[in-house]
Amino acid sequence: MKNGSVAIGIISAGIMGERLLNAIRQQERELLQACGIWDPAPAAMQRMERTFPDVPRLADAAAVIAASDCVYIASPPASHLPHARAALQAGKSVFCEKPLAVDVTDARAFVAEAGDRGAVNFPFASSPAVATIKSWIENGCIGTPQRLSIEVGFARWPRPWQADAAGWLDKPMQGGFTREVVSHFLFLSRRLVGPLHGLTGRASFFPEAGKSERRIAATLQAGDLPATLAGAVGETAKDDHNVWMLECDRGAVRLCDWSIAQRRMPDGTWHQAPDALPQEQARPLALKRQLEGVVKLARGEPHHLATLADALNVQETVEGILAG
């Protein structure tokens, strides 16, 4: 680390790579800096040259790893573990995009090898709305948790802003909304309620052969609580709709559309957190705190990010649903 500033290199210049790069450039260089980016697609690298002319465009993944203190891996899921292993072998820490991988057996082996030298980008770990919900749960105002439910829906998949990545994002090998979206809410369940286990789930790929799933349904346990999960494409007019809800014996809390924390009062009405922000405004706040965690990860300090063990538990659940 040069003068104490953490050098973050980025593998892949897609949507997530560009989003994190933007966030890095808004932070103090004395804390962290982008040391380089690489993408195998020439068009993506040309876009980086136009958009971020001050960020080094490196020759390959190995060059990114060599330049970095921490490597952010934002490439398609099947490539995550090869890049992560190369980074760890070079003595660098790893901040990986979710899902951790698509091969559960390989992911288990990787997590056993990696220990605490990596983390996964689940922004709910840094969400202001999640912090509000956590405080409501912990102060006992809604009573004892009893059950959990997760619902997600999309007008179409991929979502419009992901259309350029449809080549892998709408294929069953690496893509689908269960890996890309439901995984976030499974992580949230694990973080706030408990480890995920006891899964019974199924996925429907009908009617489009060769495409990612169009509907899922599952029951599972989060810690000691029963949980239900449902998701579908084409059954809502919204591009992206989701509700995570924890019901208790004296009320309930829920997270709606990524960033809106709400609490059900004794009279049955729902009250929104007074400081609630739409996702467009909440995302930069969460990304800033995620990067604060990445700096701690790179320095070998305790952090609040999703651990590799967290991500593995989520991946096992996701792949269990898809296999069903």
Q: How does the average pLDDT of the chain come out, rounded?
A: 96
pLDDT, residue 206, reads 86
Q: Is the preceding peptide bond at 158 cis, omega within 30 degrees of 0? A: yes
**Cβ–Cβ < 8 Å for 150, 189:** yes
pLDDT, residue 207, reads 82
pLDDT, residue 203, reads 97
pLDDT tier at 82, thresholds 50, 70, 90? very high
Q: Has residue 1 been placed in a domain?
A: no
pLDDT, residue 171, reads 96
- Could you tell me if 222 and 194 lie in one domain? yes
* Position 226 pLDDT exceeds 90: yes
* Position 251 pLDDT exceeds 90: yes
pLDDT, residue 87, reads 98
Residues contacting 150, CB < 8 A, separation 6+: 182, 185, 186, 189, 227, 228, 229, 230, 231, 242, 243, 244, 245
pLDDT, residue 266, reads 85
Cα dihedral 54/300/119/253 (nearest 10): -110
**Cβ–Cβ < 8 Å for 274, 129:** no
CATH number at residue 269: 3.30.360.10
- pLDDT tens digit sequence for 20-59: 999 999 999 999 999 999 999 999 999 999 999 999 999 9
* Position 4 pLDDT exceeds 90: no
Residues contacting 101, CB < 8 A, separation 6+: 77, 78, 80, 81, 107, 110, 315
Q: Which domain holds residue 77?
A: 6-121+286-304
**Other CB atoms within 10 A of residue 82 CB:** 15
> What would the DSSP string read from start to end of 142-206?
T-SEEEEEEEEEESSSS-GGGGGGHHHHTSTTT-SHIIIIIHHHHHHHHHHT--EEEEEEEEE-T
- pLDDT tens digit sequence for 205-220: 988 889 999 999 999 9
Q: Has residue 297 been placed in a domain?
A: yes
Tell me the average pLDDT across 172-191: 97
pLDDT, residue 321, reads 98
> What would the DSSP string read from start to end of 122-147?
-GGGG-HHHHHHHHHHHTTTT-SEEE
Sheet bearing 215-222, strands edge to edge: 196-204, 215-222, 225-233, 145-154, 241-248, 251-256, 260-264, 270-272
- Could you tell me if 39 and 148 lie in one domain? no
CATH number at residue 46: 3.40.50.720
Only one residue has tokens 């980008």, namely 121
Tell me the average pLDDT across 83-110: 98
- Could you tell me if 230 and 244 lie in one domain? yes
**Other CB atoms within 10 A of residue 267 CB:** 5
- Could you tell me if 132 and 262 lie in one domain? yes
- Could you tell me if 317 and 170 lie in one domain? yes
> Helix H segments across the chain?
15-25, 42-51, 61-67, 80-89, 104-114, 128-138, 166-169, 177, 183-192, 279-298, 308-323
- Could you tell me if 33 and 101 lie in one domain? yes
* Position 324 pLDDT exceeds 80: yes
Helix axes 279-298, 128-138, angle to 10 degrees: 80
The partner residues of 226 in beta bridges, in order of sequence, read 221
- Could you tell me if 205 and 154 lie in one domain? yes
- Could you tell me if 75 and 142 lie in one domain? no
Tell me the average pLDDT across 278-295: 97
- pLDDT tens digit sequence for 143-171: 999 999 999 999 999 999 999 899 999 99
pLDDT, residue 158, reads 96
**Cβ–Cβ < 8 Å for 321, 202:** yes
- Could you tell me if 130 and 63 lie in one domain? no
Q: CA–CA distance from 40 to each of 45, 61, 160, 292 (Å)?
A: 8, 9, 23, 28
pLDDT tier at 105, thresholds 50, 70, 90? very high
**Number of structural domains found in the chain:** 2
Q: Has residue 256 been placed in a domain?
A: yes
* Position 3 pLDDT exceeds 90: no
Tell me the average pLDDT across 291-295: 98
**Other CB atoms within 10 A of residue 270 CB:** 13
Pairing mode, if any, of strands 6-11 and 32-38? parallel
